[in-house]
Structure formats: C-alpha cells, structure tokens
C-alpha cells in the first residue's frame, strides 16, 4: 500500500486536487490518500472524508493576497506567518511515498519538505498570461529537483515551453471540466430566447455584492432574454435582502418584465445550456470558457474579482472573455455591459469561434482520468 499526499495552496487548487484525489481513490482503493490544503479550510477535501494533515484556517483575504497588499497585511495580522510555519513543520514530518503538489512554488516547496518524489500540477501558473515562460521564483528552480517526477500544466502552451527547456512537462487536461457532467437534465430552456448565465462567485460577502450588480445590469437588457443563476447555498438565504425590489418565490426573482431563474443544484446544467455567461468569478468562468461559451466580465470591489483579476483572466483565457470597465462597476459600466451582452448574442461569427478558443485555453473533458494515469505510472 502506498501513501500519497496532496498539497494545494488555493481554492481552485483544492478543487482540482480533490477532484483528482477522488478519481485516484476509485482507481487505487488500496492506497492511503492524505491532504494538506494550505489556504482556507480545505472543504473540497473534507467533503470526501480525506484526512487533513495540516492546520487549516480561513484568512481575511480569502486567499487572494496577490491582488491587494492590504489583504496581505490583514492576513499577517491574523497569524498567516505562524500558520504557514506550522504547516511547513507538519509537512516535514510526513512519511509518504509520493506527493501531488497542486499550485505554485509554495506547494512545490511543501512537497520537497516531505523528502518524497512528487508530481507538480501547475494549476495557477501559465505562460498564457504573458506569452512566454515567466514562472515566479523559485518555481522553475524547484522543478529541476531530482525528486520531481512529472510536471502537469493547466494548458498546452505552458507545457510546450517547459518541454523546450527540458522539463518533464505535459498537458493532460484540466479537471474542473469533468465536474460539469449532467446525468439527468431537468432545466427547461424557455422558448427560443437566449439563455444567459449569471455567475456572482461563491465566497460571501463578495458574492452578495456581485449579485446586486448583476441584478442592476439585467434590468437594462432590452430584448427578451432568459437569465439563470446558480447561487451557492449560503447566498440563497440572502436573496430577499439582496433584491428587495424583486419578488422572490424560492425559485425565481421577478421584477416587471424581468425574471431570473435560480434553480437549486443546477450549476452544471445552467453553464452547459447557456449561450453567454456574465461572470464575476474565477473557476466558474474558466469552466464556461472550456465549454465554448463567451463570457462577459464585470469587475467588482473584490477582494477577488477586481479589474486586476479580470484583466489577468482575459489574458489567460483568450478572446472568449471580455471585460467591461477598468474599475469597480458603476451605473455607466452596467449599462455598457447590458449593451455588450446584446451585441455578443447577435454576433454569430464570434459565438462560433468560442469553442475553439476554449479548447486552446482550457482543454477538453477527461483530464481527471488522464492525470490519474500519470500519477499511477510515476509515483
């Protein structure tokens, strides 16, 4: 029996790591699998009842310190350095046969501390941001270590550039696309009207502020359009307060001639069936692009979905993603977003190109099993 440790340092990293872990457990039930989520509380792993070997704690920034130095200061005051030290010490004590490091240099450094061979999955690093291989120090040096058995990237372009520098890199796929399987479709698309998905994000209270902005945009869209949203469970309870001028019956928000359908546990269906997504999120927008959908981004106040985040996401995901405004949304920004949404829905050539752009930037479904194949062969 082997013991494999998954180390991840971020919310998206936890999601990808836990998805691969669950598939690896199905493939090799005789292996013991452990998790070390370094950011947040590690709920993505805990829901699979995976033993967590490091201390976890939710920090004020929510893990987005790279977007705002003020968020870093709040985390430092909340004990970030002490927690990081404790986590690194815990990793040093682990006796494992292999490690899967999901994230950037922090996860890789954690893998090296265990003394075990490791596979690096560079979920948060990509050459698509700048058009060249520009990974932060000391990631490239750490990946040269003799215990690094394989480097898995989040896109083919980054893998190709790493291979040119003789790193053992490849692109096997992006697991988040495998989370969108719909076994029993229940969503009924109203008539022949286009379906627009509203993606406010998942972390409160930011998601509540984002949803308020999306509501304002909806009321400025002129042609008949079907709006669907899939708020996280904690956001459902706040909808009456977030939308006091709307009627809410537990399933649909209504105001004059506008409706926003909010079916529960229908995120995958909404994203699969939508024609366009209007988003203020991270992973959900990547998933939409991977499905070949165009995405319209509206920056908010943060701490995650600021203009800086949105602009970086455009560079990462390519022409499928457009951003309105260069700062927190204003009434003028929302009016412009409403018009741009109508323009996108009417641009058949643009809509037709989005599936190709999505495949280039995010890949195709099936990546989870391909990654598991690599892990079983090298660890």
pLDDT tens string, the chain, 379 residues long: the values are 899 999 999 888 999 999 999 999 999 999 999 999 988 788 899 999 999 988 776 655 555 555 555 665 566 554 466 667 777 787 888 899 999 999 988 899 999 999 999 999 999 889 999 998 887 778 888 999 999 999 999 999 999 999 999 999 999 999 999 999 877 777 877 778 899 999 999 888 999 999 999 999 999 998 779 999 989 888 988 999 999 999 999 999 999 999 999 998 899 999 999 999 999 999 999 999 999 999 999 999 988 899 999 999 999 999 999 999 999 999 999 999 999 999 999 999 999 999 999 999 999 999 999 999 999 999 9
Angle at 314 between CA 308 and CA 318, to 5 degrees: 165
Tell me how far CA of residue 71 lies from CA of 15, 61, 207, in angstroms: 22, 5, 17
Nearest to 337 by CA among 244, 234, 214, 191: 214
**296 CB-near residues (< 8 Å, 6+ apart):** 276, 277, 278, 279, 322, 323, 324, 337, 340, 341, 344
Domains in the chain, CATH or no CATH each: 3-174+364-378 (3.40.50.2000), 195-362 (3.40.50.2000)
- pTM for this model (two decimals): 0.89
**Residues 110-121: b if buried by 16+ CB within 10 A, e if exposed:** bbbbbebbbbbb
Task: State the burial class of residue 69 (Cβ atoms within 10 Å of its Cβ: 0-12, 13-18, 19+).
Answer: exposed
């Amino acid at each position: 029996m082997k013991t494999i440790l998954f180390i991840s340092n971020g919310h998206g990293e936890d999601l990808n790591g836990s998805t691969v872990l669950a598939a690896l457990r199905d493939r090799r039930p005789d292996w013991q699998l452990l998790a070390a989520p370094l950011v947040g509380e590690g709920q993505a792993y805990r829901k699979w009842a995976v033993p967590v070997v490091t201390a976890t704690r939710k920090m004020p920034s929510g893990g987005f310190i790279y977007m705002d130095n003020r968020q870093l200061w709040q985390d430092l005051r909340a004990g970030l350095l002490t927690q990081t030290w404790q986590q690194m010490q815990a990793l040093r004590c682990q006796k494992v046969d292999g490690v899967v490091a999901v994230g950037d240099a922090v996860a890789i450094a954690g893998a090296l501390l265990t003394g075990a061979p490791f596979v690096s999955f560079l979920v948060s690093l990509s050459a698509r941001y700048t058009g060249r291989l520009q990974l932060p120090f000391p990631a490239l040096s750490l990946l040269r270590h003799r215990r690094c058995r394989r480097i898995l990237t989040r896109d083919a372009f980054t893998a190709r550039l790493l291979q040119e520098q003789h790193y053992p890199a490849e692109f096997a796929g992006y697991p988040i696309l495998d989370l969108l399987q719909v076994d029993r479709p229940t969503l009924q698309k109203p008539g022949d009207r286009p379906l627009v998905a509203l993606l406010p994000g998942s972390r409160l209270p930011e998601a509540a502020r984002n949803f308020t902005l999306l509501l304002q945009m909806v009321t400025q869209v002129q042609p008949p359009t079907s709006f669907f949203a899939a708020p996280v469970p904690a956001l459902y309870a706040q909808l009456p307060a977030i939308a006091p001028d709307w009627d809410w019956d537990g399933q649909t928000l209504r105001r004059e001639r506008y409706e926003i359908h909010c079916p529960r546990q229908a995120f995958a269906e909404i994203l699969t069936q939508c024609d366009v997504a209007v988003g203020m999120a991270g992973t959900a927008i990547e998933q939409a692009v991977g499905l070949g959908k165009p995405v319209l981004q509206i920056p908010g106040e943060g701490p995650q979905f600021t203009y800086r985040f949105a602009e970086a996401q455009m560079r990462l995901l390519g022409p499928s993603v457009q951003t309105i405004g260069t700062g927190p949304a204003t009434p003028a920004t929302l009016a412009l977003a409403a018009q741009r949404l109508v323009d996108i829905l009417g641009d058949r050539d643009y809509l037709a190109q989005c599936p190709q752009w999505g495949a280039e930037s995010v890949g195709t479904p099936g990546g989870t099993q391909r990654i598991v194949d690599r892990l079983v062969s090298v660890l």
